[in-house]
Amino acid sequence: MTASFFCKIVSKYIGAKIEMDCLRMRKNISKYLDGELTKDEVSELLNHLGICPDCNREYEEMKMLLDSIKAPAEVFAPPHLFASIRQRIYVQEHQPILLKLLKPILVPVVYSLVLVAAIFIGNSLSRNFLSTNTQNKEAFKLTLNLTAFDDAPGNSFSNIYDNLMSGE
Amino acid sequence: MNSLQELKDEELLKRVAQNDEQAFCELFTRYKNKVFNLVYRYVGTYYEAEELTQDIFLKVYNSVHKFRGESRFSTYLYRIAVNVCKNYKRKKQPTVVSIEDPEISTDLSAPASSEPDAILAEKKKRVIIQEVLDSLPPNQKTAFILSKYENYSYAQIAEIMKISVSAVESLLFRAKQNLKKKLLPYKQRGEI
């Protein structure tokens, strides 16, 4: 009874210890693959990998994966790159000083002006459209000579038609 | 008088501060391909790498007076490069890289093959890896690219990213765990 209780305590303790060791070893696997472990740490890790199948599998998978992520082929900066940078430096240096100072203020002001202008133009266009529409309605009414029905008797077909056309 | 090629980076930088364009050209020549490759590996397309490399060197030119010599010029330059890339990716919608894009290069290690199927498979693999890398949190992605693609040590990465070595260890550990989780299904299907 006492012995089995003691064993449980020990195995529980060993289990916890192994988990803690494994977590540390997982971090060391990452460092090992980057060549960042000391000699002592390397031999400790290799010993652990020899006895721990989980960590060994983690190591194999990580190594295989990192081996498949190779650096993309080296590319070369385009030959015109320095000319482009020089051009940008030139533009920057030849910008009038006043413009440089006012730039932070000018940009929002210009955006606001554009917005106001857009609202104004939209409003004018809308008014123009409404007035043209009214004129068209009048012309349409005149064309149909609707005044001819003004004196038509109530509830007659002509009177109903006249009311419909005049929007009453 | 020393020729520009013989001068150290820091000496060239002093000259750049005095508007010496030749000195700036020499610095550019020394680092253009290194920076261009780093940016290209970060963003994944050639034309974006070109734009961003311009931005980086322009930033170096404009902030030349701010360099206090606390770290090496190369570290300072890569720090600017990494920050420009991270800011760009943060503002930008994710790039949809197509395998038909002729800009996608293949692995250095891949055997040179003229077989269209092999080239297509290699490009597809590149696209998958780039997409998975793009899905990593920015700091994990940066640390991984600097370590795996640029072969920097943890200490150098810590200096470039202005974080501790233990933070780099942690970032790389999590980056690899995330990559494993996302790439293992592709690996098992034989797509990468």
Nearest CA in chain A to B41: A72
> What is chain B's pLDDT, residue by residue, as a tens digit (192 residues)?
568 888 999 999 999 999 899 999 999 999 999 999 999 999 988 999 999 999 999 999 999 988 888 889 999 999 999 999 999 988 876 655 555 555 555 444 444 556 777 788 888 888 899 999 999 999 999 999 999 999 999 999 999 999 999 999 999 999 999 999 999 888 888 877
Beta bridge pairs of residue A72: B107
Q: Which residues in B lie closer than 8 A to residue A62 (C-beta atoms)?
A: 176, 180
Tokens at A142, concatenated: 């005149």
Asked if A24 and A44 count as a contact pair (C-beta separation under 8 A), the reply is no
Give the mean model confidence (pLDDT) for residues A26-36: 94
Q: Residue B107 carries which DSSP code?
A: B
Interface contact A89-B61, CB threshold 8 A: yes
Q: How far is the CA of B58 from the CAs of A90, A107, B4, B70, in angstroms?
A: 11, 22, 20, 21
Q: Which residue type occupies B77?
A: L
The answer to whether A61 faces chain B, any CB pair under 8 Å, is yes
Cα separations (Å) of B131 from A111, B50, B113, B176? 36, 20, 24, 15
Q: Is B1-94 a CATH 1.10.1740.10 domain? A: yes
Which of A27, A65, A73 has the CB atom closest to B183's CB atom?
A65
Q: Encode pLDDT of A95-132 as tens digits.
A: 777 777 777 788 888 899 999 999 999 998 888 888 88
Inter-chain contact A65–B36, Cβ cutoff 8 Å?
no
* Min distance B11 CA to chain A CA atoms (Å): 20
Other Cβ atoms within 10 Å of B2 Cβ, number: 8
Q: Is the minimum CB–CB distance between B184 and chain A shorter than 8 Å?
A: yes
What lies within 8 Å, CB to CB, of B152 at 6+ separation is B146, B160
Question: Phi and psi of A167, rounded to 5°?
Answer: 75, 20
Residue A134, pLDDT score? 78
Contact B172, B141 (CB under 8 A): no
User: What are the structure tokens assigned to B176, written together?
Assistant: 């690899």
Please tell me the distance from the alpha carbon of residue A131 to that of residue A135, in angstroms, as a whole number. Answer: 6
- For chain B, what are the domain ranges? 1-94, 96-192
pLDDT at B132: 93
A22 interaction partners in chain B (CB closer than 8 Å)? none
* Domains B1-94 and B96-192 alike in fold: no
Name residues 39-98 of chain B within 8 A of A (Cβ). Answer: 40-41, 46, 49-50, 53-54, 57-58, 61-62
Separation between Cα atoms, residue B99 and residue B139, nearest integer Å: 26
A32 in Cβ contact with A62 (< 8 Å):
no
Q: Which two tokens stand for residue B172?
A: 């790389």
Whether residue B148 lies within 8 A of chain A, CB to CB, comes out as: yes
Residues of chain A found within 8 Å of residue B50, distances taken between Cβ atoms: 77-78, 81
Q: Which CATH architecture has domain B96-192?
A: Orthogonal Bundle (1.10)
Neighbour tally for A152: CB within 10 Å: 15
How far is the alpha carbon of B58 from chain A, nearest alpha carbon, in Å?
7
Measured CA to CA, the distance from residue B9 to residue B16 in angstroms comes to 10
Encoded tokens for B93: 């919608």
Residue range A51-103, pLDDT digits in tens: 999 999 999 999 999 988 888 888 999 999 999 999 999 988 887 777 777 77
* Closest residue to A77, CB basis, from B32, B169, B173: B32
Is B187 in the A-facing interface, judged by CB distances under 8 Å? yes
Give me the helices (H) in chain B, please: 9-17, 21-43, 46-62, 73-91, 116-134, 138-144, 154-161, 165-188
Chain B contact set for A95 (CB, 8 A) = none
